[in-house]
Chains A and B, each alone.
Chain A
Amino acid sequence: DQQVKQNSPSLSVQEGRISILNCDYTNSMFDYFLWYKKYPAEGPTFLISISSIKDKNEDGRFTVFLNKSAKHLSLHIVPSQPGDSAVYFCAATGSGGSNYKLTFGKGTLLTVNP
């Protein structure tokens, strides 16, 4: 049973436009969500996170929105740059859970075209 779902395996956008990456979750115990960016043959890099007590968190070009009632979150990248091309993983965890284990989605490959 996949508790964190990224239903779009890939997304292609033009440089300068907005990239919107979506993530859905099923486990209502999740209360902390993270986005990671990953290049091939490298480890994931932490991008941005959001706690369930918030519905928005912004850091530069990256904004994460959380809709708890819909169990949905999204990552917005504005403006998109070619260097943003990578696989983006959504991850979730529940506070107080065993050693803060993260549950990952399968990732979305973002391609930003010049």
Chain B
Amino acid sequence: GAVVSQHPSWVICKSGTSVKIECRSLDFQATTMFWYRQFPKQSLMLMATSNEGSKATYEQGVEKDKFLINHASLTLSTLTVTSAHPEDSSFYICSATSSGLDPDTQYFGPGTRLTVL
């Protein structure tokens, strides 16, 4: 149980284009979803927290107009990187928690590798 999927797993795009990444909880309803990015050999950096049906809460230094997060249902959250630039190239990972499970434990998706040319 507690499986989280992400799509796509890998995407290459041109500078200036937008990319959408989906995060789905497959076998549970995700009360809260989190979006992280990870640079090589670095820790996971929390970008934003989202609850179904409400606006995401962004961490300090994360541009909310650039990283659009939509959490339209209890099983789906999307992250859209708008007007992507090479410095946005990174590994993006989502996680989810559920009030039905242990709310302190986050279950992670497999990640999405974004490369912006």
A34 and B109 contact, CB distance less than 8 A: no
Which residues in B have some Cβ–Cβ distance to A below 8 Å?
A: 4, 6, 32, 34, 42-44, 46, 49, 51, 57, 91, 93-95, 97, 102-111, 113
Which of the four size classes fits the interface of chain A?
Answer: 20 to 34
Known: A41-B91, A43-B93, A104-B44. A99 touches B111 (CB 8 A): no
Q: Mask for A31-51, Cβ within 8 A of B = 1, else 0?
A: 010101000011111100100
The secondary-structure label for the interface of chain A is mixed
A36–B44 Cα gap in the complex (Å)? Answer: 11
A95 and B49 contact, CB distance less than 8 A: no
Q: List 12 A-B contacts (CB under 8 A).
A: A34-B104, A34-B105, A42-B111, A43-B4, A43-B111, A44-B93, A46-B107, A49-B102, A95-B104, A99-B97, A101-B46, A104-B43
